[in-house]
Amino acid sequence: MDDLLINVIDVEATCWDGPVPPGQHNEIIEIGLCVVDPAARRRVGRHRVLVRPDRSEVSAFCTELTGLTPAEVATGVSFREACALLEREHRSGSRLWASWGDYDRKQFEAQCGRAGVPYPFEARHVNAKAVHAASRGLRRRLGMAAALRGSGMELEGRHHSGVDDAWNIAKLVLELVERGDWPAAG
């Protein structure tokens, strides 16, 4: 039963208003996770993991966008610890996981490669943004906030907060489940 749950993930990463400064990399600083029970048609968990960056700093632009300050992020766990926590507490190695687009998946792949950390997820990833576009017959894939508006739903919390965005994406996932357009587990 637990393996039928879906981990909806949204990450926030270090970012700048312009090119990445020399010697720095985009690094995950927040992992937002919402556990979805598609059979019960509800969100059953909401979690936030702050991650200390190793090779970058939280810029003023990043703080303005995400609300995350350098001091707050400094209290987070290492990326390695965050990945282990995903497996231990959220069964990331055995549950289907979804994100809005492929950015989150690619960010994990790149950062795991750079840090020599095992990839924390099982192979089944669903790009909820692509499923939403196909479900609605859209030629262009919408951002999460626009998809919520188009579905007549309110954005809850702060946009570009990983935990709030995961919560909102999960709402869209549940709408896709309700429409019968969510890919079957398997």
Question: Helix, strand or coil for residue 46?
Answer: strand
List Cβ neighbours of 89 (8 Å cut-off, separation of 6 or more).
47
Answer whether residue 2 shows pLDDT above 90: no
Q: What is the DSSP string of 126-169?
A: EEHHHHHHHHHT-SSPPPHHHHHHHTT-PPPS-TT-HHHHHHHH
What pLDDT, on a 0 to 100 scale, did the predictor assign at position 173? 98
**Sequence ranges of the domains in the chain:** 2-179
pLDDT at 15 over 60: yes
- State the average pLDDT over residues 140-148: 97
Percentage, residues of the chain above pLDDT 90: 95
Alpha carbons 3 and 34: distance in angstroms, whole number: 15
Given a cut of 80, is residue 1 above it in pLDDT?
no
Confidence of residue 122 (pLDDT cuts 50, 70, 90): confident
- Average pLDDT over the chain reads 95
- 19 vs 11: CA distance, rounded Å: 20
pLDDT of residue 185: 59
As a whole number of angstroms, the distance between CA 124 and CA 118 comes to: 16
| Residue of 20, 30, 99 lying closest to 61 (CA atoms) | 20
**pTM strictly above 0.85:** yes
Q: What is the average pLDDT across 29-40?
A: 97
Q: What is the CATH number of domain 2-179?
A: 3.30.420.10
